[in-house]
Amino acid sequence: MKLALLILEDERPVREALRRDLASFARHVRIEEAEDVPTALEVIEEIDTAGDRLALVMVDHRLPGTSGVDFLIGLADDDRTAAARKVLVTGQADQEDTIRAINEAGLDRYVAKPWQADALCDMVRDQLTAFVVAAGVDPLPHLAVLDAERALSIVRERGDL
Amino acid sequence: MSTPTTRARVSLPRPTPVQRLGLLLGSIAFLVPLLVEIPGLAPAGHRMLAIFLLAILLWVTEAIPLYATAMLVILLQVLMLSDQALFGGVGPLTSAASYFAALANPVIILFLGGFLIADGAHKFGLDRNLAAVMLRPFAGNARTSVLGLMAITALLSMFVSNTATAATMFAVVIPILAALPAGPARTGVALAIPVAANVGGIGTPVGSPPNAIALGALEASGQGVSFIGWMLLAVPLMLVVLLFAWWFLTRRYIAADTPLTLQLSADFDRSPAAILFYLIAGATVLLWLTEPFHGISSSTVGFLPVVALLATQVMGADDIRRLQWPVLWLVAGGIALGAGIGNSGLDAWLVGLVAWDALPLTLLLFLLVGVSLGLSTVISNSATANLLVPLALSLAIGLPIDPTAVGVMVALACALAMALPISTPPNAVAYATGEVQTREMVVSGIVIGGFGALLLALVMPTVWGALGLL
């Protein structure tokens, strides 16, 4: 089982920039891209079918068709994706959208464009760890992309079975 | 808008082919002794053999969780071998309560105390602070730093579970690893921690579950070992194996002039709760070490910190809930299994299968250690001890050797098995860091574990005898 990270962003250069800045995660995390909501839902289906777990979605708000915030609200209602950490990566969400994202989708982080690569990596590591802790996933296979201290604190509670 | 109540979604794991096989073979093995008359085995022995065979297959294949197998053993014993048995007709049987009582066995109470002290040490940051203080004298050179790391890891592991020790030490070490050049030096450091955690676990009765399983079985046969008595038996072996492991790992992986500075700051918690904890934990360890002077058994001493920490509210209900109950149940299942094997006469029959006394004693001990080592390399150390301790103690009945030596040997041999990532949880953590290839773990595990096992089988009985420990 791999942890999966979904980037939902309609502008190709932005998707590529995100993927490039997150390249250090690519060896251990399944990184998927989608340009609109229907594609994103297909990708989620694929992830689920392959037995992987959607751990983190990074979503732009302004998309053709359904908005990023509405997509996140939909995820919060779906059993397969409710546990996924939700991040808005945007420069254009107004206050009302942001309030809805926080209150109705349980938004975890807001990243304003343009982002700093280092801070982005730290945020992704932090959110993947939060997912593993909350979802009760065995952290050991994913240790390389997690905050080791928090991941190991799950392991220490197991005892010598 | 209010947050909707989310129902936990429990998805059942799909059984692996090995697990399916375990369930199938386990069921067959369970039925055979119930349907086939085995000459020389009492009727109760048939039932116990069925339970024992099922336990072997379930523990080896992990078809159901280890602790669930332990509970199943207790349930089956109650249903088949107690005064509440569904079918009688196999002579007088012990009470169901005596099987349930395995969970309140003095050894479990001892562990309860050990667990609570270990959890408190983490809660108040004592584990990391001790590590920081103890590592200072070793700073500067990578080889001496590894010695320091191994020493503190082993010391912690004597009182804290091996898994928790490895988790704590890796949390300390992972940032340090990054300062080392990629390659063998990192592998050496990442291997030193699990080795020290595994080997350190043999040092005291509370160090790891196989010790408790052996102690429980020995106590049941009237051969109880005190806390300090166990330490005298195990610590010499622990020290020699640790030193050998340090020598081997540093020569193989770490160049003599590799610089490594471990700068950890100690920041002892001085709140009233923390100070009370230090006092209670210190007093408990002191009482454990001085049993020959006051005569209070280690289990009773182990219960003191439980009461003291909870009464003073240094620890609370949450800390009780967080205790590793699955481990306690697994040990309890082992104790119940051992009791059942003894009560049903299965032990005598098993021993009678082979003319053990025709074999030289040294060869027998060698085989015993080898089987324990081999089995616990591929399955859980605790499950191995659960299966082998009762067998080994039955075997000891007919041998010219102290049963205590045999019980202790099985427990210690289980701890020496560390050749694979799956051998022990500390190994799994080391492997997860990505700094250790399986091949390297196999080499170091075979060399260090093999060295320890040879020492244990061939030298330790003589040492114990010469020191007058048995």
Look at residue B451 and tell me if it is in a domain: yes
How many domains in chain B?
A: 2
What DSSP character marks residue B5?
A: P
**What's the burial of B420, exposed, middle or buried (CB within 10 Å: 0-12/13-18/19+)?**
middle
Report in angstroms the alpha-carbon separations of A112 from A34, A89, A116, B309. 19, 6, 10, 48
- The answer to whether the CB of B386 falls within 8 A of the CB of B336 is no
Asked if B59 has any chain A CB less than 8 Å from its own CB, the reply is no
Distance CA B47, CA A57 (A): 55
Whether B338 and B411 map to the same domain: the answer is: no
Q: Would you tell me the crossing angle of helices B66-81 and B381-397 to the nearest 10 degrees?
A: 40
DSSP string for B429-453: HHHHTT---HHHHHHHHHHHHHHHH
Domain finish residue from B292, B308, B343: B343
Whether B33 and B86 map to the same domain: the answer is: yes
Distance CA B81, CA B84 (A): 8
> Of B262, B257, B264, B255, nearest to B188 (Cα)?
B255
Residue with tokens 């509210």: B313
Whether B456 and B335 map to the same domain: the answer is: no
Q: What is the CATH number of domain A3-156?
A: 3.40.50.2300
Give the one of A143, A158, A161 whose C-beta lies nearest to B382's C-beta. Answer: A161
Domain finish residue from B312, B343, B374: B343
Asked if B423 has any chain A CB less than 8 Å from its own CB, the reply is no
Helix (H, G, I), strand (E, B) or coil at B201: coil
B456 Cβ contact partners less than 8 Å away, ≥ 6 residues apart: B237, B369, B409, B412, B413, B416
Q: Looking at residue B9, what is its pLDDT?
A: 65
Residue from B163, B174, B379, B382 whose CB has the most chain A CBs within 10 Å, to mutate: B163
> Of B398, B104, B404, nearest to B224 (Cα)?
B404
Look at residue B266 and tell me if it is in a domain: no
Whether B376 and B331 map to the same domain: the answer is: no
Q: Looking at residue B3, what is its pLDDT?
A: 56
Q: What is the b/e burial string over B425-444, where b = at least 16 CB atoms within 10 angstroms of the residue's CB?
A: bbbbbbbbbebbeeebbbeb
Whether B216 and B333 map to the same domain: the answer is: no
Look at residue B401 and tell me if it is in a domain: yes
Mean predicted lDDT score pLDDT of chain A = 92
A102 Cβ contact partners less than 8 Å away, ≥ 6 residues apart: none
Domain finish residue from B343, B374, B403: B343
| Residue of chain A minimizing CA distance to B165 | A156
Look at residue B75 and tell me if it is in a domain: yes
Whether B361 and B216 map to the same domain: the answer is: yes
Tell me the nearest-neighbour CA distance from B426 into chain A, angstroms. 9
Distance CA B247, CA B447 (A): 12
Q: Looking at residue B1, what is its pLDDT?
A: 46
Whether B362 and B459 map to the same domain: the answer is: yes
Bridge partners for A109 per DSSP? A87
Contacts of B171 in chain A (CB under 8 A): 148-149, 152-153
- The answer to whether the CB of B194 falls within 8 A of the CB of B429 is yes
Whether B374 and B452 map to the same domain: the answer is: yes
Give the one of B170, B174, B327 whose C-beta lies nearest to A159's C-beta. Answer: B327
> Of B66, B94, B100, B73, nearest to B82 (Cα)?
B94
pLDDT digits (tens, 9 = 90+) for A74-131: 998 888 888 999 999 988 777 888 899 899 989 999 999 889 999 999 999 999 999 9
> Do β-strands A53-59 and A3-8 pair in parallel, antiparallel, or remain unpaired?
parallel
Q: What is the mean pLDDT of residues A42-69?
A: 92
Size of interface A-B (CB pairs under 8 A): 70
Contacts of A140 in chain B (CB under 8 A): 428-429, 431-432
| Residue of chain B minimizing CA distance to A148 | B171
Look at residue B306 and tell me if it is in a domain: no
Phi, then psi, of B141 in degrees rounded to 5: -110, 140
Kindly state the helix (H) or strand (E) to which residue B147 belongs, with its residue range: helix B142-159
- The answer to whether the CB of B243 falls within 8 A of the CB of B448 is no
Is the interface score ipTM higher than 0.95? no
Q: Looking at residue B60, what is its pLDDT?
A: 94
DSSP string for A48-84: HHTT-EEEEEEE-S--SSS-HHHHHHHHHH-TTTTTS
Whether B435 and B337 map to the same domain: the answer is: no
B467 Cβ contact partners less than 8 Å away, ≥ 6 residues apart: B232
With CB atoms and an 8 Å threshold, state whether A104 touches B425. Answer: no
Distance CA A89, CA B296 (A): 64
Residue B399: half-sphere exposure toward Cβ, Cα within 13 Å: 25
- The answer to whether the CB of B391 falls within 8 A of the CB of B131 is no
Kindly state the helix (H) or strand (E) to which residue A3 belongs, with its residue range: strand A3-8
| Residue of chain B minimizing CA distance to A141 | B432
Tokens of B423: 């051998």
Q: Looking at residue A120, what is its pLDDT?
A: 95
Asked if A119 has any chain B CB less than 8 Å from its own CB, the reply is no
Tell me the nearest-neighbour CA distance from A156 into chain B, angstroms. 4
Give the one of B1, B381, B432 whose C-beta lies nearest to A160's C-beta. Answer: B381
Report in angstroms the alpha-carbon separations of B386 from A33, B22, B71, B101. 50, 18, 13, 17
Asked if B105 has any chain A CB less than 8 Å from its own CB, the reply is no
Q: Tell me which residue range forms the domain holding B63.
A: 17-103+327-343
Chain centroid to CA A139: how far?
Answer: 16
> Do β-strands A109-112 and A85-90 pair in parallel, antiparallel, or remain unpaired?
parallel
Q: Looking at residue B91, what is its pLDDT?
A: 80
Total Cβ atoms within 10 A of residue B148? 19
Residue window 59-98, chain A: list those with CB within 8 Å of chain B.
Answer: 79, 82
Distance CA A141, CA A128 (A): 13
Q: Looking at residue B256, what is its pLDDT?
A: 86
Distance CA B225, CA B401 (A): 16
Whether B250 and B224 map to the same domain: the answer is: yes
Provide the phi-psi class of B326: left if phi over 0, else alpha when psi is between -120 and 50, else beta.
alpha
In A24-152, beta strands by DSSP E: 29-34, 53-59, 85-90, 109-112
Whether B371 and B452 map to the same domain: the answer is: yes
Sign, CA torsion B168/B170/B174/B180: positive
Tokens of A48: 């689920």
Look at residue B218 and tell me if it is in a domain: yes
Tell me the nearest-neighbour CA distance from A102 into chain B, angstroms. 11
Look at residue B157 and tell me if it is in a domain: no
Whether B63 and B191 map to the same domain: the answer is: no
Asked if B322 has any chain A CB less than 8 Å from its own CB, the reply is yes
Look at residue B283 and tell me if it is in a domain: no
pLDDT along chain B (470 residues), means of 10: 58 90 96 93 93 96 96 96 88 90 95 95 93 86 92 96 94 86 91 97 96 94 91 96 97 88 84 96 96 94 97 95 94 95 89 80 91 95 95 84 92 96 95 94 96 95 87
